Amino acid sequence: MRTTEIISLLPYQKPFLFVDGIDSISEDAVTGHYTFKENEPFYEGHFKDNPITPGVILTECMAQIGLVCLGIYLLKDELKDSVKPQIALTSHQMDFYLPVLPKEKVVVISEKEVFRFNKLKCKVKMLNQNNELVCRGTISGMLKV
């Protein structure tokens, strides 16, 4: 399965799609990236005159790349034409270290911990364009074809 196919199967669209590309993917891990656009709607109010990316959006970006893209890849043999998988985030735990500013590119690295009975649990981390740790944690979700 090509990375462009995986992205096309994501159940998101702009302005809530936080995946620009997948750099590598395997049965055990995925690495992808996203650049936060200067005009993202959430910057208007977070924070006044000092926009930073909300932690919930950083978590969503990590979930889209680190959980959903990897989950689609793991289910590739079960996917049929025009059938998009259903995804439900079941839990997450995240620690934040640095802010992400408008126009900043981030890289998400996710390693599969468990994939059993269509429940996927991953260890994820996000790095900024200076290769500094922005946040890290675990994300779990259920996948259904």
Q: How far apart are CA 97 and CA 18, in angstroms?
A: 20
Domain boundaries, the chain: 3-144
Q: Out of 3, 12, 29, 46, which one is annotated catalytic?
A: 46
- Annotated catalytic residue 33: no
* Structure confidence at residue 77 (pLDDT): 82
- What are the φ/ψ torsions at residue 114 (nearest 5 degrees)? -145, 135
| pTM score, whole prediction | 0.94
| Residue 82 clears pLDDT 70, i.e. is over it | no
Per CATH, the number for 3-144 is: 3.10.129.10
Mean pLDDT lowest among 10-14, 33-37, 135-139 = 10-14
pLDDT, tens only, 84-104: 778 888 999 999 999 999 999
Distance CA 38, CA 66 (A): 23
For residue 61, give every residue at least 6 positions away whose Cβ sits within 8 Å of its Cβ, in sequence order, or none: 18, 19, 34, 106, 108, 126
